[in-house]
Structure 1
Amino acid sequence: MNKNVDYISSLDEQGFAVLNHIYADAEVDAIYNCIEKACAKLNVGNYSKSVFAIRQAMKKIPELESLVSTTKLQNLLSSLFTEPYFLTKAIYFDKPSESNWFVAYHQDLSISVDRKVAVSNYTNWTFKKGQYGVQPPLDILENIVTVRIHLDKTTKENGALKVIPTSHLKGIYRPETIDWNTETEHVCEVEKGGIMLMKPLTLHASERTTNGKQRRVLHLEFGSKQLTKPLEWLEFYKI
């Protein structure tokens, strides 16, 4: 994969990029079948007809690694990082056809860590669904790249992410301060087997589903920076 293609500058300058045809239909089907088979064995506890998510998906479903970590993905990640990279978070999201929720504009400011301990510049601690979250220093957030693997064709009618281009360049950007006289909105539609790249500081949101179709996404976050000791990434995983 050419390191000079447009997705690198788009990610750096706009905060996001869409690349279609990264996974063939058969590869997508294999990923989904692997997840579906694992669901029967996992005590996920948060399944309903409207919301379904598996957190720490790569740890809970280790068979996913060989299906997800294709040559195309590895080449893509190698083009985005100058240092050895690793997985820091993996979540499987299913927005079923019965779903009708929306997500307001926000930045992804929290990372998952292995413990709670007082460390300088790590703030806004949370404990949700059995894991600690914390807002790390800005350089950690700026280093992360989100890779959203789309297992379904995703349009604005079934919850494609909306983003505010260049918002990742403005540090912590509170949604209530968005000036729509100067900001624009872009809907990131993605084909089945395509991926969306995004910087966590990019303001993003999604609308309610209106076409009755699913939006299944494997959300992966990668980075190359270690945390301040004794903190460790909860999902540190070389892929």
Structure 2
Amino acid sequence: MATAELGDSLDRRGFAQWPGAIGPAQLDALCAQPAVAAAADADAGDRELLRERWCGELAALLRARLAAAGLLAADAVAAQCTLFRKSASRNWKVTLHQDLSIPVAAPADDPRLQAWSRKRGRHFVQPPAELLQRLLAVRLHLDDCGAGDGPLRVVAGSHRHGRLDAAAAQALRAAHGETACTAARGDLLIMRPLLLHASSKATRPEGRRRVLHFLFGPREIGYSLHWSTAI
């Protein structure tokens, strides 16, 4: 897909797919990293991968390519990388939702900030939609993800409606339907966090679906907040 098409799809639909963004040799090297290769399939994921040198280098590569394609500002940073995996021993579903929480260094006293929480020692908060609209999620598929592997399902255009309650989310899905984002190994799925998305359990039990999910955003996020990690 041409860079202009990627930008247009991201603006209109809230997501874009970049086929073959990472080649087989680099994928093999990523999958050989201990944090990926030694990860137990009984565990659904790991949210702390940016602490790994190889992951920081991959984040920098993706950031540069996305910036060159006009999808990220030149001063954008990677704030989080999560490894998600589905397998025969760990098969799960995710209900329809938006990604509303971000990892920050410390709490801030601002009434516009909601739903403070702590996960694995990190602070998370739900900022205003204005900030969420400036963020970009990038999912790198380490394995093929077909219709039977529990791919992400998205409601195209739903990112344009701001924060949605459960009733509004269901109404949008009923009105516009869903798109299953199947992918080949090495493909990127680029999406706005406010895009409604869900996934089903895999129906192909012998399959495996591993995804590196990056969150990118502006270096300065405002609201007296700072990222807990910024690469």
| TM-score, scaled to structure 1 | 0.86
Q: Sort the Cα spacing of 1:29 and 1:68 in 2 relative to 1 into closer, same or farther, 3 A.
A: farther
- Tell me which residue corresponds to 2:228: 234
Moved more, 219-228 or 16-25: 219-228
Shift of 1:127: 1.4
Q: Which residues of 2 match residues 1-239 of structure 1 at below 5 A? A: 3-4=3-4, 6-36=5-35, 39=38, 49-59=41-51, 61-67=52-58, 69-70=60-61, 74-78=64-68, 79-177=70-168, 178-179=170-171, 180-212=173-205, 213-224=207-218, 226-228=220-222, 230-237=224-231
SS state of the match for residue 176, structure 2? coil
Moved more, 18-27 or 225-234: 225-234
Shift of 1:116: 1.8
| TM-score, scaled to structure 2 | 0.89
Does the 8 A contact of 1:140 with 1:225 survive in 2?
A: no
Q: Sort the Cα spacing of 1:174 and 1:156 in 2 relative to 1 into closer, same or farther, 3 A.
A: farther
Q: Percent identity?
A: 29
Q: Please, which runs of 5 or more residues in structure 2 have no aligned partner?
A: none
- Supply the distance in 1 between the matched residues of 2:29 and 2:67 (Cα, whole angstroms): 21
Shift of 1:99: 2.2
Shift of 1:132: 1.1
What amino acid is the match of 1:209?
A
- Supply the distance in 2 between the matched residues of 1:108 and 1:185 (Cα, whole angstroms): 17
What amino acid is the match of 2:102?
I
Shift of 1:81: 2.4
Shift of 1:95: 1.5
- Supply the distance in 2 between the matched residues of 1:209 and 1:224 (Cα, whole angstroms): 35
**RMSD over aligned Cα atoms:** 2.2
Q: Sort the Cα spacing of 1:77 and 1:155 in 2 relative to 1 into closer, same or farther, 3 A.
A: farther
- Supply the distance in 2 between the matched residues of 1:57 and 1:143 (Cα, whole angstroms): 22
Shift of 1:49: 4.1
- Supply the distance in 2 between the matched residues of 1:207 and 1:181 (Cα, whole angstroms): 17
Does the 8 A contact of 1:21 with 1:193 survive in 2?
A: yes
Q: Sort the Cα spacing of 1:26 and 1:145 in 2 relative to 1 into closer, same or farther, 3 A.
A: same
Shift of 1:181: 4.1
Count of aligned residue pairs for this structure pair: 227
Q: Sort the Cα spacing of 1:82 and 1:129 in 2 relative to 1 into closer, same or farther, 3 A.
A: closer
What amino acid is the match of 1:201?
L
Moved more, 141-150 or 48-57: 48-57
